[in-house]
Amino acid sequence: MNKNELLDACKVALNSRGQHYGKVLENHNRIAKIWSIILGSDITEEQVALMMVGLKVARLIETPDHQDSILDIAGYAAVMSECVEEKKTKTKTTDKQTEGYLWHKN
């Protein structure tokens, strides 16, 4: 699959998953809350996306030609981007300070 085909397939997958799992930030917020309880440490939505990329990279080490994992990495990058942008938008409307929002909850 070339890069354009990958991105097209990624769009299809993201739209399909969005219909099943809901809005990206809300879904990743739910996951972050659950993981925070399990781990005993605050996890952000962006960190959820990063950890899912890490999971897919670990799987690709075993099977580097597995297209589904490659597709999922592209999808999680898009998900992370959306989380970052949506949080920036929310932060701008409620608080002008955005520094440090990505890794630490203030």
pLDDT digit of tens for each residue in the chain (106 aa)? Answer: 999 999 999 999 998 888 889 899 999 999 999 999 999 999 999 999 999 999 999 999 999 999 999 999 999 999 999 999 998 888 776 655 555 555 555 4
In a domain, 100, yes or no: no
For 28, the domain range is: 3-92
Q: pTM higher than 0.75, yes or no?
A: yes
* Distance of alpha carbon 106 from alpha carbon 90, whole angstroms: 14
What backbone torsions phi and psi does residue 43 show, to the nearest 5 degrees?
A: -115, 135
In a domain, 99, yes or no: no
Cβ within 8 Å of residue 18, ≥6 positions away: 24
Write 62-68 long-range contacts (CB < 8 A, 24+).
Answer: 67/1
In a domain, 39, yes or no: yes
Domains: count for the chain: 1
